[in-house]
Chains A and B, each alone.
Chain A
């Protein structure tokens, strides 16, 4: 029962889809197609990412991550965070479990905010696409402004939120 309860939003939406299917079959069909495709995409992308996160959790020592992303890591931390965030593919919610792991291993809040911001702004695999469809000027403004903004936000958030405060829920445990 508890397990089913976690799927309640999914079932509510499914009910909504059923209602739409009665009114307009074409829209329902596109929904099923779009949803099916994105679910397949996710099922394809998620397992390797979670396996890597699981491995990192076991193998990376807290001390070494603090050196790369801790409070005193400086410019090194910026580059390390940036390369971590821009290489990975996928929507931002995949980055949440990764961010929690980094926090757990001693990364500072500043770089976590910067990591999430960079993840949602710069993606090396799609950079070419942004460049060709919106032009170099647009792309450059987007990237430079985004990164500077999120770095400053990170500094601000670091003052507000402590590391421990953000670690209330451990995602590697069963809810």
Chain B
């Protein structure tokens, strides 16, 4: 909420400065903002609905039972799969991860889940492809999966 207020304040201040300096540039800027919004809206609505479905089917206690203390490598694979589907912002991911750990999930598995949730997005892949082209989108997602797995490995070695 506070984030939003700060963002709006900054946006309005800059918009005001821009408007007093050059009306036409400001108009052009707003027009391109609207087009961007218009372009991402269909994808966004679908993503939101998908994430909503996924989160209501996969409750924290269910996830915790899949990736518990003794789930080992299989647990890591499951977390990678679950985490790779959606792209979720960090202000939702960390509270979710915290709940999972309290429900009995193991730390490395939760680490890989959180990291992939934030950086790997199969649902948003079509959107990413439209933006950067297929090859780059795939490569970026693969690199994010590798990063998440290595991160989990480090957590496993250092913290358990």
List chain A positions with a Cβ less than 8 A from chain B.
6-7, 9-10, 13-14, 16-17, 20, 27, 30-36, 38-39, 42, 44-55, 57-59, 89-93, 96-97, 99-100, 113, 116-117, 120-121, 123, 125-126, 129-130, 133-134, 137-138, 141-142, 145-146, 149-150, 153, 157, 160-161, 165-166, 168-169, 171-175
- Some 13 contacts from A to B, beta carbons below 8 A apart, are A6-B42, A7-B45, A9-B46, A10-B49, A57-B29, A58-B25, A59-B25, A93-B87, A96-B131, A116-B140, A134-B94, A145-B154, A171-B39
Main secondary structure of the interface of B (DSSP, over half): helix
Contact assessment for B130 and A169 in the assembled complex, using a CB-CB cutoff below 8 Å: yes
Considering only CB atoms, which chain B residue lies closest to A4 in the complex?
B42
Contact assessment for B10 and A13 in the assembled complex, using a CB-CB cutoff below 8 Å: no
Contact assessment for A134 and B37 in the assembled complex, using a CB-CB cutoff below 8 Å: no
**Residues in B neighbouring A9, C-beta threshold 8 A:** 42-43, 46
Given A30-B56, A55-B15, do A17 and B49 touch, yes or no (CB 8 Å)?
A: yes
List chain B positions with a Cβ less than 8 A from chain A.
2-4, 7-8, 10-12, 14-15, 18, 25-26, 28-40, 42-53, 55-57, 87-91, 94-95, 97-98, 101, 107, 111, 115, 118-119, 121, 124, 127-128, 130-133, 135-136, 139-140, 143-144, 147, 150-151, 154-155, 158-159
Considering only CB atoms, which chain B residue lies closest to A98 in the complex?
B36
Contact assessment for B18 and A55 in the assembled complex, using a CB-CB cutoff below 8 Å: yes
Of the candidates A27, A113, A138, A149, the one whose C-beta lies within 8 Å of that of B150 is: A149
Contact assessment for B10 and A123 in the assembled complex, using a CB-CB cutoff below 8 Å: no
Q: How far is the CB of A14 from chain B (nearest CB, A)?
A: 7
- Nearest 3 CB-CB pairs, A to B? A35-B52, A54-B33, A48-B11
Main secondary structure of the interface of A (DSSP, over half): helix
Determine the distance from Cα of A157 to Cα of B42 in the docked complex, in whole angstroms.
Answer: 30
Considering only CB atoms, which chain B residue lies closest to A44 in the complex?
B4
Considering only CB atoms, which chain B residue lies closest to A154 in the complex?
B143
